[in-house]
Structure 1
């Protein structure tokens, strides 16, 4: 037994005496059919931003931000910033080029098949299907692209896990309709979702309706399409928009189940696990309040109703959400089949912090840093045990299947003179997180898949940089989209291939 006040670590667990469920025993293998995969997003990989009728999305006006400015990243967008993006040189906006996955997907999928993936998560870019978002008819060229992409995955024995909305809202719906606060956008999303759910019903089983839907609290532009300088009351606009997204999620679940009774309709949150900075009751309460805010979204999607505390929160702030009786019935009747979540980092909070009342979640800043864990080059705290903690929170709270839809280490990789890329830091990060996931499975948590972020290097989401790399496959592009695009396997490629081949028995 550990001495008083000595924290239990993953190394302690790994060093425990052998048992029938030791890491070398077949009993420790992950469930049969476990999804070993990887995850990307269309806006960060595809490029070809104006090909085949594709329209402008919100991501196309998010510029490259050097890592040195990350702590001061401005995520509250204005119309002036959007207009500046529309008029600026394309190479300042690397997502417009991505890694050219739109043209290279066949070769890239062949590499992912060699890696051994059984699942691959990507998104359908809304602007490839409805370039402005409000068209009556879809763009057939965009639909045909995803037909070809999913066919290629299936031909290699890889299941597509498809996200409907991954920060790819048509920019026209922001500038002309005011974003998700406008109920018309809900109707437009219904049309988009219905179109692609019907088109790919026989090709896609696992759907994720919204990516990290709870980031609506921290990034109202990318998630909700709100221009802060045009909102008289940003909180009012945020919560109205959030309600519309939650209704859209339930409607998409209903549509997916109607079109394919075997479809697994899920949605996704960003895990924002926090610890109280001190044992002071006020700090502990702040952490609890933070959890309520970040988990409100999954509470509604899984339980089918808003939690009781939320009504007081709105009343105290004078926020009035327009919602119909049919909205509430839809939320109640069409809950998700599984909960997907991304897990990267944890943080600490203290008295006075309330997630629902802030913009941004700067977990890399000193104010939120936990002195007991290490951090990445970008200041993200590396906390494998926090993943096991998160699994238990979700299992105890919801008791439905769980999927890790993103997890990974953003790091600076060096290409050696001989073309090799040695990334033991990535292997170490992923190994320790998979070990934590394995312990959660042993604990009885229903985990159905692990899809680490960026199996191939792509453009970073928030900062549009390539310097911050996650992949097992290196892509020769720099922060301005320049480079040969050549793909190279990193050392982690062979390691993850062995993990998959042994169903997680060899780490």
Structure 2
């Protein structure tokens, strides 16, 4: 590698999730997933979790952007951009519609065979998430989601089936997408989509969250060990949502507050990458009187199932101030709505604080902590795009955002020595927004003609950023 360049085998690509692009929610024997019962929403309007699929409710994930029937066209566009990899997920309910069956659904397995074959035809490496907010709804209703330890075995069975089936086609895997989102247990959407549990329904919601997490940590470790037995060449990662928390000032109380908040990010990496619970969380449980049920063999399971790399999303940074007016300490530590406005950075229309330097800071701090390869598997800018009368879309704001982040990413690798596997911007093709259920909050290089009011033809077209990113990949990041 040149002193000024990224590695020649750097994995440039794009990222989506099955439930946000595929559609075909009831085709090919697919069962109902947890995202199939999420209504549409908007900025400031929460998505509603319904009790099963209800008549008269709009469920944008049911159609999404019809990748299920358009994937060949879309992959050809990815190849035109020069993608080296493509991150998506396997919809658990296409393989096991209810989640607790003994035998998988062959039609679902064949769909992903065809999808991966199409990617490999263009020399695009699949990067696959096993669980990306797509848990079978049946496992929620019948078993209570991941709070029930029985779900560990169901997940391991599903993972074993797909890892064996695709062992010659998929090298890069991740177990759970943004597993740390459910740390925001006060907000039902996060816990429900990560684990099928609404923690606020429980007498001790935070304890229920930690118990649920333990089951997922054990499941992840079991799958990592099993995957390496199936194919020693597999690279299996964990995936975290990383939002660096800065102290708002140099006041020692703010600095300590920020450290406490960051521990709630570190916990998820510490367990999955190091293989044990850190002392700070054990002390917290003792202070709060939490009893987390663990089996005698769990300690060894966690130790033997450490992930190979850290995949992560990065969109923004946050800041905390202990004395901030009206700020609750517990909200700031969970990191959703608790941060204070950072006067040194701008924010998107949705209030996400744009901080490219924060990406370099994150890469350095987590690489120094774990000394394992990292993989930026989500980064992007959601905006309302304007289609001109000639059909063009000049998304210079997206180019500006990505250019600034790639520049800081390069500095982390070239100047700081971070071992980085690749970069897959989120929503490389327009998709349904997870948090708001909107179509109009767009991330893609490829526009999809589908709108929040239900209209649209699903026609694909290139935005200005399409050709820009094509140039970035062709130059291995030297031309921004």
- CA 1:191–1:256 in structure 2 vs 1: closer, same or farther (change >3 Å)? same
- Residue 87 of structure 1 aligns to a residue in which SS? coil
Task: Report whether the alignment pairs 1:361 with 2:329.
Answer: no
Task: Report whether the alignment pairs 1:39 with 2:15.
Answer: yes
Distance 1:481 1:297 in 2: 38
Report the CA distance between 1:170 and its aligned residue.
Answer: 0.7
Alignment match of 2:54 (pick from 87, 90, 94) = 87
Distance 1:286 1:480 in 2: 43
Task: Report whether the alignment pairs 1:445 with 2:418.
Answer: yes
Task: Report whether the alignment pairs 1:425 with 2:397.
Answer: yes
- CA 1:480–1:231 in structure 2 vs 1: closer, same or farther (change >3 Å)? farther
Q: Which residue of 1 aligns with 2:84?
A: 118
Q: Is the 8 A contact 1:294 1:355 kept in 2?
A: no
Report the CA distance between 1:458 and its aligned residue.
Answer: 0.5
Report the CA distance between 1:44 and its aligned residue.
Answer: 0.2
Alignment match of 1:61 (pick from 5, 17, 37) = 37
- Residue 389 of structure 1 aligns to a residue in which SS? helix
Alignment match of 1:335 (pick from 286, 306, 315) = 306
Q: Which residue of 1 aligns with 2:369?
A: 397
Q: Which runs of 5+ in 1 are unaligned?
A: 1-20
Q: Is the 8 A contact 2:24 2:66 kept in 1?
A: yes
- CA 1:370–1:327 in structure 2 vs 1: closer, same or farther (change >3 Å)? same
- Residue 175 of structure 2 aligns to a residue in which SS? strand
Q: Which runs of 5+ in 2 are unaligned?
A: 185-189, 323-327
The CA RMSD measured in Å over matched residues stands at: 1.6
Distance 1:387 1:94 in 2: 31
Q: Which residue of 2 aligns with 1:235?
A: 206
Report the CA distance between 1:222 and its aligned residue.
Answer: 1.0
Distance 2:34 2:290 in 1: 26
Q: Which residue of 1 aligns with 2:187?
A: none
Q: Deviations over 1:19-59 (max 9, x none)?
A: xx9xxxx6422102100000000000000001111111111
Report the CA distance between 1:356 and its aligned residue.
Answer: 9.0
Alignment match of 2:128 (pick from 151, 154, 162) = 162
Report the CA distance between 1:355 and its aligned residue.
Answer: 5.7
- CA 1:356–1:475 in structure 2 vs 1: closer, same or farther (change >3 Å)? same
- CA 1:262–1:356 in structure 2 vs 1: closer, same or farther (change >3 Å)? farther
Matches within 5 A, 1:310-329: 310-329=281-300
Q: Deviations over 1:166-205 (max 9, x none)?
A: 0101111111111101001111111111111111111000
Q: Deviations over 1:450-492 (max 9, x none)?
A: 0000111000011110111000000000024431001110000
Q: Which residue of 2 aligns with 1:180?
A: 146
Matches within 5 A, 1:193-342: 193-218=159-184, 219-228=190-199, 230-342=201-313
Task: Report whether the alignment pairs 1:485 with 2:458.
Answer: yes
Q: Deviations over 1:481-506 (max 9, x none)?
A: 43100111000000000000011111
Report the CA distance between 1:88 and its aligned residue.
Answer: 3.5
Instruction: Please say which of residues 180-189 and 57-66 is displaced more in the overlay.
Output: 57-66
Q: Is the 8 A contact 2:167 2:231 kept in 1?
A: yes
Q: Is the 8 A contact 2:264 2:333 kept in 1?
A: no
Q: Deviations over 1:191-227 (max 9, x none)?
A: 1111111111110000011111111212211112113
Q: Is the 8 A contact 1:267 1:336 kept in 2?
A: yes
Q: Is the 8 A contact 1:211 1:267 kept in 2?
A: yes
- Residue 53 of structure 2 aligns to a residue in which SS? helix
Distance 1:317 1:174 in 2: 27
- Residue 87 of structure 2 aligns to a residue in which SS? strand
Distance 1:430 1:381 in 2: 14
Distance 2:158 2:56 in 1: 30
Alignment match of 1:101 (pick from 47, 64, 67) = 67
Report the CA distance between 1:131 and its aligned residue.
Answer: 0.8
TM-score (normalised: structure 2):
0.95
Distance 1:53 1:228 in 2: 31
Distance 1:169 1:123 in 2: 12
Task: Report whether the alignment pairs 1:467 with 2:440.
Answer: yes
- Residue 449 of structure 1 aligns to a residue in which SS? strand
Q: Is the 8 A contact 1:455 1:470 kept in 2?
A: yes
Report the CA distance between 1:309 and its aligned residue.
Answer: 1.1
Instruction: Please say which of residues 271-280 and 304-313 is displaced more in the overlay.
Output: 271-280
TM-score (normalised: structure 1):
0.90
Report the CA distance between 1:89 and its aligned residue.
Answer: 2.7
Q: Which residue of 1 aligns with 2:475?
A: 502
Q: Which residue of 2 aligns with 1:10?
A: none
Q: Which residue of 2 aligns with 1:129?
A: 95
Distance 2:218 2:356 in 1: 34
Report the CA distance between 1:320 and its aligned residue.
Answer: 0.8
